């Protein structure tokens, strides 16, 4: 028997930058409890990359949105880091969120946004326990 967690990641960059809409997508990340997980985030803006400000937000089920991390491309370092969450802004305009030792309490909506370029919309997330099954049992 094993446990797994279903984390939902959504990247909302739907504001307008230079008149062009930004990409919006949703993906689900599945990880075994206790593993490290990296949630991707990449900017599609053509703005000068030295001015990129990335933010990661989390919304736990039934809770309000909370900020996890913020980082600035100019510094290349995350402003906030602890043993659970970390982020670094890379030269290729990515800012993945690293979650160490995933647990069921990490089940949430995760939003990666650029400062002044984001609108947030909720998408459901769930945690589940699973045991190995044959295709017939599912």
Whether pLDDT at 106 is above 70:
yes
CATH architecture observed for domain 2-130? Sandwich (2.60)
Please report where in the chains the tokens 């900017």 appear, as a residue: 43
The whole-number pLDDT of residue 46 equals: 65
Q: Delimit the domains of the chain by residue range.
A: 2-130
Mean pLDDT of the chain: 63
CA-based torsion, 25, 26, 32, 38: positive or negative:
positive
The whole-number pLDDT of residue 32 equals: 79
Among the ranges given (68-72, 74-78, 106-110, 134-138), the one the predictor scored with the smallest mean pLDDT: 134-138
The whole-number pLDDT of residue 47 equals: 60
What pTM value is reported for the model? 0.62
Taking 3-state DSSP, the helix, strand and coil percentages for the chain, each rounded to the nearest 5, stand at 5, 45, 50
Whether pLDDT at 65 is above 80:
yes
């Amino acid at each position: 028997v094993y446990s797994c967690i279903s984390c939902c990641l959504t990247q909302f960059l739907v504001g307008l930058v230079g008149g062009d809409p930004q990409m919006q997508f949703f993906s689900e990340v599945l990880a075994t409890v206790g593993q490290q997980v990296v949630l991707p985030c990449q900017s599609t803006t053509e703005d000068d990359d030295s001015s990129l400000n990335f933010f990661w937000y989390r919304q736990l089920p039934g809770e309000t949105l909370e900020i996890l991390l913020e980082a600035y491309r100019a510094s290349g370092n995350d402003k906030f880091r602890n043993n659970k969450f970390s982020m670094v802004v890379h030269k290729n305009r990515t800012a993945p969120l690293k979650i160490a030792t995933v647990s069921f309490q990490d089940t949430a909506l995760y939003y990666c946004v650029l400062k002044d370029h984001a609108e947030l919309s909720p998408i459901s997330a769930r945690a589940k326990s699973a045991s190995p099954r044959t295709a017939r049992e599912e």
